[in-house]
Chains A and B, each alone.
Chain A
Amino acid sequence: MIPLFSKFDDMRAIIDSLVASGRNPFDMRFERILSATEAVLEGRPCLLFGTNNYLGLTFDATCIEATVRAVHEGGTGTTGSRIANGTYCDHALLERRIAEFYGKRSAMIFTTGYQANLGLISTLAGREDHLLIDADSHASIYDACKLSAAQVIRFRHNDPEDLAHRLRRLKGHPGSRIIVTEGIFSMLGDSAPLREIAAVKREMGATLIVDEAHSLGTRGKNGRGVCEDAGIESDVDFVVGTFSKSLGAIGGFAVSDLPDFDLLRIVCRPYMFTASLPPAVVGSVTAALARICTDKSLSARVLSHSGRLYSALAQAGFETGPEPNPIVALKMPDKETAVRFWNRLIDRGVYANLALPPATPASLSLIRCSISAAHTEAQIDRAISVMVAVGRELGVLDPRPGKTPVDLTRSLPI
């Protein structure tokens, strides 16, 4: 027999060892989703802190209504791609709304956020070109690089000096230089120094792509992400994003001011050769986008919750990412402790993400929490108290029984 799967023996061993330590983190099954922040897991209610449902819109009444209406009007699916089956009015409307939201000339929607990066980056970067990507980039950016014919160079994470240095090394080489980075990075929740990166881009005459998957709706005065916060929106040639996090559905997009942008529709294979988004998704995303344009309280709430969770866990003694964002990561001393920590959180009714190398930067083992505007303060405090208790039990924190940092109005015990 051909050992077709033997190349995955290492992965099989990893899964076997994870299962032996408790649960399989890649195959968690929720019996029921109760709300944006609660589900039934193993027969018991569980608080959700690993969903990326930043604005909590998955159960928003207006979005659900728009979905139902869209299904009745447009059917359950488009059954093909836009180049073959055509564009529905609502695809075009959503693209106009996204372009307006970003104040850009054009927008293109993709069937997933993964495909947005895959399509945009692999198509823009041709054989003579160089892609310079942040070392901590998401898998979709790495996969786009594999699909592209360009030369790919990593620069050190969030290091504009290193980026400039690597760009200078390319002096004399033909072709375009395309810089790819993210607004907020998905594992540690740290944001990119976009003001400095934009300065390097201008100095070197490069093109800049920023993936705002985790920052749409959570950062910037109008929810346009870290680019808006940094005041560099006019320097960014392409913003990429997703509908699957703050907008509560699925899909991806890219926006740009470049006049030839629409040419991508006939050369970008991950856009051309897959079925377009179904009416239900287009309907709910259009409603969700309208909601975040009119209701600024959602982003204020998720940021306030994030600060509450981040400060309490940092003050309790956890080693966290560098800044409070809707992703809060706790660095574990080793893989085994991370696995035990994650299992124990679930035993106590808190679901977060277990993030292990090589999916993490610098071989870190992480407990990754994502925070939602739909969480209540009581839910945030419950998660804090469970995490601190488990941290003490497992020796990640100094054991000081009887002290749980739920009152954030005073200094927390360390």
Chain B
Amino acid sequence: MTNNATNIEAQIVELLAQRIPAGIQVSAQTQIVGGLGLDSVAILDFIMDVEDRFDISIPLDRVAEVQTIAELSRAIEALRRTAN
């Protein structure tokens, strides 16, 4: 894994921590949907936080393809490459 990917994942985890109860451990393989007790609207709100942190837009169809933090991280990397 590249340093860049590790850095993105760390930032995702930090943003996620603000939306889930304290004490829940998350890793790159954590399922965002269904794994953390977040309902569909809460997940979309979390995605908006991610968009603002990385200054990108993640269209809803891309969000639907993402299951884990690692997958979200890869989607962010790809969207940043397209944006630049």
A394 in contact (CB, < 8 A): no
A358 in contact (CB, < 8 A): yes
Given contacts A358-B39, A363-B39, contact A135 B57 (CB under 8 A): no
B44 in contact (CB, < 8 A): yes
Kindly name the residue among B39, B41, B42, B83 whose own CB sees the greatest number of chain A CB atoms within 10 A. Answer: B41
Among the listed B42, B56, B60, B83, which residue makes an inter-chain contact with A363, where contact means beta carbons less than 8 Å apart?
B42
Per-position 1/0 for B26-70, Cβ under 8 A of A: 000000000000011110110010010001110111000000000
In the complex, chain B residues whose CB is within 8 Å of the CB of A400: none
Among the listed B42, B48, B56, B60, which residue makes an inter-chain contact with A156, where contact means beta carbons less than 8 Å apart?
B48
A358–B43 CA distance with the chains assembled, in angstroms: 10
A169–B48 CA distance with the chains assembled, in angstroms: 13
* Nearest-neighbor residue (CB-CB) of B40 within chain A: A358
A357–B38 CA distance with the chains assembled, in angstroms: 10
In the complex, chain B residues whose CB is within 8 Å of the CB of A135: 44-45, 48
In the complex, chain A residues whose CB is within 8 Å of the CB of B39: 357-358, 363
**Shortest CB distance B5–A (Å):** 22
Do B61 and A151 touch across chains, with their CB atoms under 8 A apart?
yes
Residues of A84-112 at the interface with B, using a CB-CB cut-off of 8 Å, are: none
Among the listed B41, B44, B57, B60, which residue makes an inter-chain contact with A166, where contact means beta carbons less than 8 Å apart?
B57
Given contacts A135-B48, A154-B48, A156-B48, contact A358 B57 (CB under 8 A): no
In the complex, chain B residues whose CB is within 8 Å of the CB of A156: 48
A74 in contact (CB, < 8 A): no
In the complex, chain B residues whose CB is within 8 Å of the CB of A152: 59-61
A361–B39 CA distance with the chains assembled, in angstroms: 11
* Nearest-neighbor residue (CB-CB) of A145 within chain B: B60
Count B interface residues, CB 8 Å: 15
In the complex, chain B residues whose CB is within 8 Å of the CB of A130: 59
In the complex, chain B residues whose CB is within 8 Å of the CB of A358: 39-42
* Nearest-neighbor residue (CB-CB) of B43 within chain A: A358
**Shortest CB distance B59–A (Å):** 4
In the complex, chain B residues whose CB is within 8 Å of the CB of A145: 60
Do B45 and A153 touch across chains, with their CB atoms under 8 A apart?
no
In the complex, chain B residues whose CB is within 8 Å of the CB of A362: 45
In the complex, chain A residues whose CB is within 8 Å of the CB of B83: 169
Per-position 1/0 for A144-171, Cβ under 8 A of B: 0110000111101000000000100110
Do A361 and B59 touch across chains, with their CB atoms under 8 A apart?
no
* Nearest-neighbor residue (CB-CB) of A146 within chain B: B60
In the complex, chain A residues whose CB is within 8 Å of the CB of B42: 357-358, 363
Do B41 and A361 touch across chains, with their CB atoms under 8 A apart?
yes
In the complex, chain A residues whose CB is within 8 Å of the CB of B57: 151, 153, 166, 169-170
A51–B45 CA distance with the chains assembled, in angstroms: 29
In the complex, chain A residues whose CB is within 8 Å of the CB of B60: 145-146, 151-154
**Shortest CB distance A332–B (Å):** 16
Do B40 and A153 touch across chains, with their CB atoms under 8 A apart?
no
Residues of A111-152 at the interface with B, using a CB-CB cut-off of 8 Å, are: 130, 135, 145-146, 151-152
A36–B59 CA distance with the chains assembled, in angstroms: 42
A130–B61 CA distance with the chains assembled, in angstroms: 12
**Shortest CB distance A165–B (Å):** 8
A158–B48 CA distance with the chains assembled, in angstroms: 14
**Shortest CB distance B80–A (Å):** 12
* Nearest-neighbor residue (CB-CB) of A165 within chain B: B52
**Shortest CB distance A183–B (Å):** 21
Kindly name the residue among A358, A360, A362 whose own CB sees the greatest number of chain B CB atoms within 10 A. Answer: A358
Given contacts A135-B48, A151-B61, A152-B61, contact A357 B56 (CB under 8 A): no
**Interface positions of A (Cβ within 8 A of B):** 130, 135, 145-146, 151-154, 156, 166, 169-170, 357-358, 360-363
- Name 18 A/B residue pairs within 8 A (Cβ), A-sorted: A135-B45, A135-B48, A145-B60, A146-B60, A151-B59, A152-B59, A152-B61, A156-B48, A166-B51, A169-B56, A357-B42, A358-B40, A360-B41, A361-B41, A362-B45, A363-B39, A363-B41, A363-B42
Given contacts A151-B60, A357-B39, 11 further A-B contacts (CB under 8 A): A130-B59, A135-B48, A145-B60, A152-B61, A154-B48, A169-B83, A170-B57, A358-B39, A358-B42, A362-B45, A363-B41
6 closest cross-chain pairs (CB), A and B: A358-B39, A151-B59, A152-B60, A358-B41, A358-B40, A153-B57
